[in-house]
Amino acid sequence: MCFGRTFAELKQTAEATGADSVAALQEHAVFGQRCALCHPYVRRMLRTGETVFHEIVTVEDE
């Protein structure tokens, strides 16, 4: 969750718009403009479709 948006909501937006990166998705939804900790999660969501994460995901995991 970031800026009140869930990963499931962001996934729906990505599917509806074809956005395939954090930057592309940010053109359609307000998120990710503060700590950026959500960016690796959003990138994994875009890669795999996952919207529920049971572990910490960082840039080192990519």
CB 12 within 8 A of CB 31: no
Total number of residues that touch ligand FES (CB under 6 A): 9
Figure out which of the listed residues 4, 18, 35, 60 binds ligand FES, where binding follows CB under 6 A: 35
28, 17 contact by CB (below 8 A):
yes
Does the protein bind ligand FES through residue 54 (CB under 6 A)? no
Stretch of 9-17, 20-28, 34-42, 53-61 contacting ligand FES, by CB under 6 A: 34-42
From 6-14, 21-29, 30-38, 49-57, give the range in contact with ligand FES by CB under 6 A: 30-38
- Whose CA is closest to 61, among 6, 17, 30, 48? 48
42 touches 31 (CB < 8 A): yes
Minimal distance in Å, beta carbon 48 to ligand FES?
18
